[in-house]
């Protein structure tokens, strides 16, 4: 099972990509509403496992799957201002997937029949840089352009892909998880500055302020931990137990949400 991808979009929407679907959630008055759920591409093609998602400047969503296929989802203009909300018999919030706030518009197929993906590195305006090429998503004409402009970043990504199963990227550092080792990498100098041995795998890691982070362990551990990474030492300040599937930080409202979703 690949770990879910959780991102906060520019329009105060939380994106969760898990397995072969992309879920868009709105948070309003401390309640969660669904605005869209994307599954199959054009209703006839399985997305396969999603490995990366990025929002570009024009608001479009770029999705990459395990085979290396790239999908472009665009945001449609909604006629109704109110968000959809459905409650079950017990009054609990039930997510409504009927709204089509986002729709697929394009697919850029992989150049290979093998599962040989090129990781999404970063985006500059509406140009997305991959490991070996870039694509300009400004117009409807997409072309994979080979580039040597990101060789330095390429070397950093190769280091990551060779040793890390998962990574949590922040402004200055990358916290990479390799089995039960947390590897801290300085992005500017591309150097490993600390390796911390863990008792269990980290499921989510969120920056709070200064050197304080919030994290959770594997799914069998229902605790949320507050940890101090000062001097790259692993000191747990506090822990509390909750029932949850995902942790999301809402930057706009400066709040942390614990989301419990039943998966079929």
Spatial contact of 170 and 186, defined as CB atoms under 8 Å apart: no
Q: Determine the pLDDT at residue 84.
A: 55
Spatial contact of 52 and 130, defined as CB atoms under 8 Å apart: no
* pLDDT less than 70: residues of the chain: 1-3, 42-44, 78-99, 113-119, 131, 148-165, 188-191, 219, 252-253, 261-264
What gap in Å lies between CA 76 and CA 32, rounded to an integer?
20
> Which residues does 241 contact at the CB level (< 8 Å), separation at least 6?
222, 223, 224
pLDDT tens for 226-238 read: 888 887 777 888 8
Q: Determine the pLDDT at residue 136.
A: 92
Distances (CA, A) of 126 to 61, 108, 123, 150, 225: 11, 16, 7, 16, 37
> Which residues does 119 contact at the CB level (< 8 Å), separation at least 6?
52, 130, 131, 157, 161
Closest CA to 120 of 172, 179, 167: 167
Instruction: Check residue 30 and report its DSSP letter.
Output: T
Distances (CA, A) of 231 to 36, 193, 234: 42, 10, 9
Strand order in the sheet with 191-197: 166-169, 173-178, 181-186, 191-197
Three-class secondary structure assignment of 89-112? CCCCEECCCCCECEEEEEEECCCC
Q: Determine the pLDDT at residue 152.
A: 46
Spatial contact of 19 and 249, defined as CB atoms under 8 Å apart: no
Residues in the chain: 264
The CA-CA-CA angle for residues 30, 34, 37, to 5°, reads 150
What gap in Å lies between CA 221 and CA 204, rounded to an integer?
12
pLDDT tens for 91-107 read: 665 555 556 788 888 88
Q: Determine the pLDDT at residue 158.
A: 59
Can you list the alpha helix ranges (DSSP code H) found in 82-185?
151-163
Q: Determine the pLDDT at residue 1.
A: 54
> Which residues does 19 contact at the CB level (< 8 Å), separation at least 6?
1, 2, 49, 50
Q: Determine the pLDDT at residue 224.
A: 87
Q: Determine the pLDDT at residue 12.
A: 78
Q: Determine the pLDDT at residue 111.
A: 76
Q: State the CB neighbour count (10 A cutoff) for residue 130.
A: 23
């Amino acid at each position: 099972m690949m770990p879910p991808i959780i991102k906060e979009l520019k329009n105060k929407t939380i994106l969760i990509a898990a397995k072969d679907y992309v879920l868009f959630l709105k948070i309003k008055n401390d309640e969660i509403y669904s605005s869209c759920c994307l599954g199959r591409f054009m209703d006839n093609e399985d997305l396969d496992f999603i490995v990366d998602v990025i929002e570009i400047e024009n608001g479009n969503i770029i999705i990459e799957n395990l085979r290396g296929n790239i999908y472009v989802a665009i945001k449609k203009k909604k006629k109704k201002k109110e968000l959809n909300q459905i409650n079950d018999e017990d009054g609990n919030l039930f997510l409504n997937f009927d709204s089509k706030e986002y729709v697929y518009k394009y697919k850029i197929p992989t150049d290979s029949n093998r599962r040989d993906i090129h990781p999404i590195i970063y985006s500059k305006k509406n140009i997305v840089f991959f490991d070996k090429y870039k694509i300009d998503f400004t117009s409807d004409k997409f072309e994979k352009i080979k580039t040597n402009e990101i060789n330095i970043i390429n070397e950093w990504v190769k280091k990551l892909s060779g040793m890390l199963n998962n990574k949590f990227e922040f402004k200055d550092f990358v916290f990479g998880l390799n089995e039960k080792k947390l590897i801290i990498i300085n992005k500017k100098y591309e150097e490993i500055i600390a390796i911390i041995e863990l008792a269990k795998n980290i499921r989510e890691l969120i920056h709070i302020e200064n050197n304080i982070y919030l994290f959770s362990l594997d799914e069998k551990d229902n605790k949320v931990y507050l940890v101090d990474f000062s001097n790259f030492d692993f000191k747990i300040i506090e822990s509390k137990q909750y029932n949850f599937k995902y942790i999301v930080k809402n930057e706009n409202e400066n709040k942390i949400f614990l989301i419990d979703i039943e998966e079929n």
